[in-house]
Structure 1
């Protein structure tokens, strides 16, 4: 019987080849000579390429890792960390993981909704669900394979760009000054670490009305928990009232100004980190047109917290 494959017209021949190569390395597929009948593009992702692939009538999420990402991402650590999250029901079940390049095959969560910014901004229930997921894995009692220190990562990116004599955005000296103030505050008041996702953009959340999932753990590591909440506050474009609601749902009680200030500090730190990351992508050969505007948006948003006094007020709680 002829096997017909339905493929999105936007999927390149290169990616079709990569998908089949990845699937050929999955033992259970190879053993039964599994047949692919569909390939669809999944949304989200700047550095990787994600696809919904149907194999023998079962759907899977296949990630084709971006070229060169294994040079700055710890892929074996991601495999370890993501499996912990799968074990506690937060991440999708992992079928195959390539520890060298970071290609991945997961069970696709059928009949699920991929969330977007309006879902969080317009539905408090999703903020409450996200807060509870954060709380669940932050307090799961497990430890990830490595730490993810945003300050350390930021300095790594900065030093690399200096070595390359690569230009950053005008006013970046002020950003660096604030990064150093945050480092001093955390040196004085060390924050406890917990398993963290570190990149919980809206499209990484899935809802199938039975569970609420957070996927894509490639930046996961032990970090201070508030970084996750600050990152979601940025990605979902939350208002100050929504940020406070998120925190209240996370702690299950009223919050202190110091706790809210910690979210603001981590909002700044998150945007600063990805500002330098974006420029690093350009310095390593990625598209200027794709990454420069992305980084500039991050930079401007971070510096707004400086200009409006929110960061200064937050740091004052740690002096």
Structure 2
């Protein structure tokens, strides 16, 4: 979007009309353009929607509702305005450092990240549910129907995928409000507490998916995954650790298709196919590893 169009868009947002403002693009945002807008009275982030929301399974009204709920839970940024007619969501800018994968080497950061997830999960119920098994099936149909390029060998793991779904159903607990997309850049650390941003894929889900998705998106080592799980639960629980690790696999296999769809549909200068391939390769290694059967046995335990 050229600067002139951006200025015209910002002029249509009431809180930004007729005031002096400084606009800075923020990093990240493959399905949004995020700009920081500073005025004499406000420090805001304007999220400008882009991408095919229908193909990617994004509900912008739910994103708005769930962003409000996350703010009420004390873990999300305040919501200032929502203009679906303009394709924007306006939220408060959070002071702090966005995490990097290496940040999780610090035990204090891991503890704050687990606390942030607990606060979100204990907060108001979200609008809509998130089930990666249903989403994966929808993404797979989209890839087939649109003729997008699929990763070689993807469907070879269909039987193993069904085994994972069956195993996770055995001790499935109640769902909780989850972000479902906690890559490192969606954690904002002010040094005392961590805030969670970006709720476009949010929905009520298994809390272990939240931890497992974080584990794979942030490239956590096995001992870091265990530390995050223990920090969240409060004590070591073998079947829950197995559940988190299996949900990492679920995240990888499901989200890889997001990359396949974006590779075929997006006009952005980004290698979405490589992004998806990386996640599929992770999943394939687990599906074919001796650890796979062990995790299926551990996750149905009663401890």
**TM-score over 0.5 for the pair:** yes
Q: Which of the residues 113, 116, 119 maps onto 2:97?
A: 113
- Match for residue 3 of structure 1? none
Give the drift of 1:208.
2.0
- Match for residue 257 of structure 2? 276
- Match for residue 28 of structure 1? 15
Aligned equivalents of 1:145, 1:96: Cα separation in 2: 18
Question: Within the alignment, does 1:85 sit opposite 2:66 as a pair?
Answer: no
Any gaps of 5 or more consecutive residues in structure 2?
none
Q: Which of the residues 127, 151, 163 maps onto 2:110?
A: 127
- Match for residue 190 of structure 1? 172
Asked which structure has the greater RCO (Cα within 8 Å, sep 6+), the reply is: 2
Give the drift of 1:88.
2.1
- Match for residue 4 of structure 1? none
Q: Which of the residues 145, 152, 155 maps onto 1:163?
A: 145
Give the drift of 1:282.
2.5
- Cα offsets for 1:10-44 (capped at 9, x unmatched): xxxx25345334433332333xx2122x2222122
- Match for residue 274 of structure 2? 293
Question: Within the alignment, does 1:56 sit opposite 2:32 as a pair?
Answer: no
Give the drift of 1:316.
2.1
- Cα offsets for 1:62-115 (capped at 9, x unmatched): 2121143366311111111110111122111111122356522211123x2111
Which stretch of structure 1 is more off in the superposition, 243-252 or 163-172?
163-172
CA contact (8 A) 1:264 1:311 kept: no
- Cα offsets for 1:244-282 (capped at 9, x unmatched): 1111110111222x1111011100110111111111112
| Change in CA separation of 1:285 and 1:62 when aligned onto 2, cut-off 3 Å | closer
Number of aligned residues: 299
Aligned equivalents of 1:280, 1:184: Cα separation in 2: 27
Give the drift of 1:317.
2.9
Q: TM-score, normalized by length of structure 2?
A: 0.91
- Cα offsets for 1:144-170 (capped at 9, x unmatched): 110011100000011121223433111
Which aligned pairs between 1:262-273 and structure 2 lie closer than 5 A?
Answer: 262-273=243-254
CA contact (8 A) 1:117 1:237 kept: yes
Aligned equivalents of 1:317, 1:216: Cα separation in 2: 32
Question: Within the alignment, does 1:255 sit opposite 2:237 as a pair?
Answer: yes
Q: TM-score, normalized by length of structure 1?
A: 0.87
| Change in CA separation of 1:50 and 1:70 when aligned onto 2, cut-off 3 Å | farther
Secondary structure in structure 2 of the residue aligned to 1:241:
helix
Secondary structure in structure 1 of the residue aligned to 2:119:
helix
